Amino acid sequence: MKQPSNSSKKNVDSENHEIDLTNLLVQYAYYWKWFVLSLIISLFLAFAYLKIASPQYKVDAKILLENEDKASGELAGLVDLGSLTGGSGQSAFVLDQIDVFKSRRLLRKVVVDNDLQYTYFIKDNFSETEIFVSESPIKVLSANVLDEEELNSFVVTIENEKIFSIKVKDQKELEGNQFGKEIKTSFGSVLIIPNKDLSKHVGEVIKVQISPLDKVIENLQKTILISPNTEKQSYIVNFSLTGPLIQKSDLIIDNLIEQYNSEIAGDKNKAT
């Protein structure tokens, strides 16, 4: 009996493969609407994420510490403590100074001096974006909250150059408030003043968040990265802070270094 040749088998297999592929394409083509819909939804979600998500910027800085032999006062005490605990003189000094930088006392001064417990956001129909205080048309001059451990927020709508309305979550919107006059709310009292020429910002909506002081300090302790230089015989300290506002991160790091230098100057004055 004559057996089919190899070429005949290949032709048959090729025809079957083409038929299977055609059937597969026909089956998938039946669901083309779902493929298009999935693509549209994916593109919409990607656009929404880019619209809502805040970009993050990293700010770096470094300083050269003064030799511990020249340190005095409280800072010198930290060096002595490092030596007693068995640390190598230079590395112990640098690590101790990093602890000083991250101390609550120093960070509290940074927060209070720069009103970092107040955060400003500009609102639109789809999102709210944090803005630096210098970019905000309004500014909280003072706030006396009833519960200092609670996170509070309110929304201000600029009606004209002198008048604004304020809305606190579940509270009814308070209209006809004058800038520069204390306003009583459900969480306490707040004093709001213009920060720019409001004639160009009528109708804008600004959200203000008042964070507990201790929470802000704890957050800075976690987010400010302070590390010694890689070289063992180095007095260089590196700073890094990532956040949505470059100006704010710059301000925090610069003021932290200023507060530290002020502490050193104060120790020197005490020693003399």
* Confidence band for 62, pLDDT divided at 50, 70 and 90: very high
Express as a percent the part of the chain with pLDDT over 90: 58
Confidence band, pLDDT 50/70/90 cuts, at residue 127: confident
Distance of CA 174 to the CA centre of its chain: 30
Q: Over range 201-222, report the average pLDDT.
A: 96
Exposed/middle/buried for residue 16 (C-beta within 10 Å: 0-12, 13-18, 19+): exposed
For 31-46, what is the mean pLDDT? Answer: 80
133 and 141 Cβ atoms separated by less than 8 Å:
no
Residue 100 near residue 106 (C-beta atoms within 8 A): yes
Residues 6+ apart with CB under 8 A from 91: 228, 232
Q: Give 10's contacts (C-beta < 8 A, 6+ positions apart).
A: none
pLDDT at 12: 44
Per-residue pLDDT at 87 exceeds 60: no
Give the whole-angstrom CA distance, residue 130 versus residue 17: 59
pTM: 0.75
SS3 call for 141: strand
Residue 219's CB: how many other CB atoms inside 10 A? 14
More confident residue, 92 or 246: 246
- Does 19 score more than 90 pLDDT? no
* pLDDT category of residue 20 using cuts at 50, 70 and 90: low
- The pLDDT score that the predictor gives to residue 66 is 82
pLDDT exceeds cutoff 80 at 23 = no
CB 183 within 8 A of CB 189: yes
Rounded Cα–Cα distance for residues 167 and 208 (Å): 10
The whole-angstrom separation of Cα 40 and Cα 45 is 9
Are the beta carbons of 131 and 224 closer than 8 angstroms?
no
Instruction: Give the bridge partners for 130, in sequence order.
Output: 121
Question: Above 90 in pLDDT, residue 225?
Answer: yes
Q: How far is CA 74 from the centre of its chain?
A: 32
Of 87 and 98, more confident = 98
**pLDDT given at position 9:** 46
3-state secondary structure of 72: coil
H helices present in 53-180, as ranges:
73-84, 89-101, 104-113
